[in-house]
Homo-oligomer: A and B are copies of this chain.
């Protein structure tokens, strides 16, 4: 979509929304942000997007208030979704549902669960166990029956993304994980205790 503000229709919120998130790569960046990706390099490697394009997109999304950029503890840079960005989850979910329905014959590629009670979420984000509409930070995402295990863990970031975890929660990169490789459960437990 390239030029923002280039769709003529002033009276259509679909056009307006697409001016922000309709450019190539943008919604995939946002999807990754939901999945916990926060670092420039992780976006670049995971999406295999040219770094120049990534720079443009991130700048634009920050300018539009979808992402916020700040320095993390280690001096690096973090991009995180704002409330406005988090409000895009229904868009990402709708695309995911449609893609699952028509291009994943063996079942959904990723399932959403209510982290509190483990209930599956329906297409509108309602927990089938407790009946509540689950807020985004309480959604746990995990590989579903249609997930293809053969090409998942090529890189550590993908591996982290495809491990069951809550949306928005930063993925654990090997660096942060320290030397201890297999202690996933311990790390997760620690993390749960963390909040």
A residues at B contact (CB < 8 Å)? 1-2, 7-18, 21-24, 27-28, 31, 47-48, 84, 87-88, 90-104, 108-110, 123-124, 147-148, 151-152, 162
Contacts and interface: CB of A to CB of B under 8 A. Distances in A.
Contacts of A108: 13
A59 to B, nearest CB: 19
B96 A94 contact: no
B94 A98 contact: no
Given A9-B47, A17-B98, 16 more contacts: A11-B147, A12-B110, A13-B99, A13-B100, A13-B103, A13-B104, A14-B27, A14-B31, A14-B92, A16-B99, A16-B103, A18-B27, A22-B22, A22-B24, A88-B98, A90-B98
Contact of A8 (B14, B48, B96, B148): B48
A28 B31 CA distance: 21
Contacts of A13: 95-100, 103-104, 108-110
Q: How many copies does the complex hold?
A: 2
A151 B10 CA distance: 8
Contacts of A27: 14, 18, 22
Contacts of A10: 148, 151
Given A18-B95, A27-B22, A94-B90, A11 B152 contact: yes
A98 B87 contact: yes
Closest 9 CB pairs of A and B: A13-B99, A17-B99, A90-B94, A16-B99, A124-B124, A17-B95, A91-B94, A13-B100, A94-B94
A96 to B, nearest CB: 5
Contact of A102 (B7, B87, B95): B87
